[in-house]
Amino acid sequence: MGLQHGGSRVNFLPFHRPTISRRHVQAVAEAVRSGWLTSAGKVLEFEAAFAKRVGAKHGVAVNSCTAALHLALIAKGVGPEDEVITSPVTFASAVNVIEHVGAKPVFVDVFRDDLTINCCRVKDAVTRRTKAIVATHFAGWPAHVAELEDAADGVPIIWDAAHGIEVEWCGWKSGEFGGTTAYSFYATKNITTGEGGMLTTDDGALAERARLLRLHGMTKGAWDRYGPSGYKHWDIVEPGWKYNLGDVQAALGLAQLADMDAWLKKRVALDREYRKLLSGIVPCLTGNQPDTKAAHHLFVVFVPKRDLVMDFMQRMGVGVGVHFRAVHLLEYYLKKYKLAGTLPVSEGASDRVLSLPLYPLMTLKDVRRVVDVLLAALTLV
Ligand SMILES: *Cc1c(COP(=O)(O)O)cnc(C)c1O
């Protein structure tokens, strides 16, 4: 991905840099020294702390958000002949997993202002075959929760909270919207374990199934097999996956979780500075739902000649990102479903969205520099 590229180049402001404090390193070192490197006590601790923070009963730690989404679909019984509604403004892996279970992704366009799935369109897309809806809290702006639940009319919603651990909607935290929620601890996300993810739910049976499937479908994990109570035989109940998170990563996750709210405050301040400087000059992505809290994961602007602006900014020492080129326009999906031209809002955004750096290690001065370079790019390209 090259996200940290330029980290060694003098004066290059990378698109993202995770905050790794001495305390985080200490936590990882302790986990390594403990001798338990695979899933055991630290994972249990991380699951409990994370689930509590997002308001869910159960947390199932996995090695990516993609794995969490995959397991959520399987646990909901989604399979061949089924349809899953999603928007094309998401990371491709969230759609890949629909293909993995043999179901058909049904793409629904997004709202123009916050690029979250358009719940009015969802209503029209629901058929007898619809088995799930995957909804993203895009860039950290919460999806339109109540309207979506209304439109879903009982179809389970899987929330993709890869950008939105901290989102709140009418006082409800991200794990309290009902259904199943998938989180990411990838290197660029609001908290990181390097690679990692979590599935949360209030449904105990679903959590149990996800726990089984994340480790081969095996009845006993390593802790049960090799822990203090002596060796025990295990069985395979159904062929599962190798999706478990290790204790070293869980230790980092736990340490990061403790800083998450302070980091959000920093991003809010950076976001405010961007908006102040760009107001009336460059359109910025903004959610507009009352009584909600955003997670401020990305700062997205809409610009003409996006790819030229991007190249210019990179050459001027500012790392940028693109979230996202519409999934239905990516080669595999384009060839298979031939939907180009049918989702105008997503397609318009696909060519114009540009993500500016937004992370706690940045200063307000960095924001001013990014804006100067962006404005220079816009006059020159
Ligand atoms: C990052 C991301 C994912 C995938 O997360 P991984 O942990 O890398 O699997 C899924 N959905 C969205 C919206 C993302 O941004």
Q: For residue 186, which atom of ligand 1 is closest to its CA?
A: 7
Nearest Cα to 89, choosing from 149, 134, 155, 145?
A: 134
The residue-averaged pLDDT of 347-355 equals: 98
List Cβ neighbours of 32 (8 Å cut-off, separation of 6 or more). 248
191: left (phi over 0), alpha (psi -120 to 50) or beta: beta
d(CA 213, CA 74): 9
User: What confidence category does residue 219 fall into, taking pLDDT thresholds of 50, 70 and 90?
Assistant: confident
Q: Hey, where are the domains in the chain?
A: 22-257, 260-380
**What pairs with residue 292 in β-bridges?**
169
Catalytic residue selected from 131, 173, 189, 266: 189
User: What confidence category does residue 23 fall into, taking pLDDT thresholds of 50, 70 and 90?
Assistant: very high
Q: Say how many CA atoms lie within 13 Å of 45 toward its Cβ.
A: 17
The residue-averaged pLDDT of 34-57 equals: 96
Question: Has 336 been annotated as catalytic?
Answer: no
User: What confidence category does residue 10 fall into, taking pLDDT thresholds of 50, 70 and 90?
Assistant: low
The predicted structure's pLDDT at residue 220: 75
d(CA 27, CA 46): 12
Question: How many angstroms separate the alpha carbon of residue 213 from the centre of ligand 1?
Answer: 20
Question: How many angstroms separate the alpha carbon of residue 93 from the centre of ligand 1?
Answer: 7
Question: How many angstroms separate the alpha carbon of residue 183 from the centre of ligand 1?
Answer: 8
List Cβ neighbours of 346 (8 Å cut-off, separation of 6 or more). 87, 88, 89, 107, 109, 110, 115, 326, 328
> Does residue 229 or residue 109 have the better pLDDT?
109
User: In this model, does residue 86 exceed pLDDT 70?
Assistant: yes
Segment among 217-226, 230-239, 250-259 with least mean pLDDT: 217-226
Q: Which of 91, 95, 110 for a ligand 1 pocket mutation test, highest count of atoms within 8 Å of Cβ?
A: 91
**What pairs with residue 321 in β-bridges?**
355
Q: Residue 356 burial (CB < 10 Å; 0-12/13-18/19+)?
A: buried
User: In this model, does residue 42 exceed pLDDT 70?
Assistant: yes
User: In this model, does residue 6 exceed pLDDT 60?
Assistant: no
User: In this model, does residue 3 exceed pLDDT 60?
Assistant: no
Q: Note whether 318 and 373 are within 8 A (CB).
A: yes
Average pLDDT, the chain: 95
List Cβ neighbours of 280 (8 Å cut-off, separation of 6 or more). none
The residue-averaged pLDDT of 335-342 equals: 98
Q: Which of 184, 298, 327 for a ligand 1 pocket mutation test, highest count of atoms within 8 Å of Cβ?
A: 184
Q: Residue 271 burial (CB < 10 Å; 0-12/13-18/19+)?
A: buried
3-state SS of the chain is CCCCCCCCCCCCECCCCCCCCHHHHHHHHHHHHCCCCCCCHHHHHHHHHHHHHHCCCEEEEECCHHHHHHHHHHHCCCCCCCEEEECCCCCCHHHHHHHHCCCEEEECCECCCCCCECHHHHHHHCCCCEEEEEEECHHHCCCCHHHHHHHHCCCCEEEECCCCCCCEECCEEHHHCCCEEEEECECCCCCCCECCEEEEECCHHHHHHHHHHHECCECCCHHHHHCCCCCCCCCECCCCCECECCHHHHHHHHHHHCCHHHHHHHHHHHHHHHHHHHCCCCCECCCCCCCEECCCCCEEEECCCHHHHHHHHHHCCECCECCCCCHHHCHHHHHHHCCCCCCHHHHHHHHHEEEECCCCCCCHHHHHHHHHHHHHHHHHC
Please list every protein residue whose CB sits less than 6 Å from any atom of ligand 1: 64-66, 90-91, 93-94, 136, 160, 162-163, 184, 186, 197
For residue 244, the one-letter residue type is N
Q: For residue 90, which atom of ligand 1 is closest to its CA?
A: 13
Q: For residue 188, which atom of ligand 1 is closest to its CA?
A: 1
Question: How many angstroms separate the alpha carbon of residue 158 from the centre of ligand 1?
Answer: 13
The predicted structure's pLDDT at residue 229: 76
Provide, rounded to the nearest whole percent, the portion of the chain with pLDDT above 90: 92
Task: Please name the residue whose Cα sits nearest to atom 5 of ligand 1.
Answer: 65
Architecture of domain 260-380: Alpha-Beta Complex (3.90)
d(CA 302, CA 335): 27
**pLDDT tens digits for range 293-311:** 999 999 999 999 999 999 9
Provide, rounded to the nearest whole percent, the portion of the chain with pLDDT above 70: 97
The predicted structure's pLDDT at residue 165: 98
User: In this model, does residue 232 exceed pLDDT 90?
Assistant: no
The residue-averaged pLDDT of 58-68 equals: 98
Q: Note whether 86 and 134 are within 8 A (CB).
A: yes
In the CATH scheme, what is the code of domain 22-257?
Answer: 3.40.640.10
User: In this model, does residue 221 exceed pLDDT 80?
Assistant: no
**pLDDT tens digits for range 150-204:** 999 999 999 999 999 999 999 999 999 998 999 999 999 999 999 999 999 999 9
The predicted structure's pLDDT at residue 224: 74
Which residue in this structure is represented by tokens 């950076």?
270
**pLDDT tens digits for range 96-108:** 999 999 999 999 9
> Does residue 193 or residue 234 have the better pLDDT?
193
The predicted structure's pLDDT at residue 227: 72
Q: For residue 195, which atom of ligand 1 is closest to its CA?
A: 7
Question: How many angstroms separate the alpha carbon of residue 68 from the centre of ligand 1?
Answer: 10
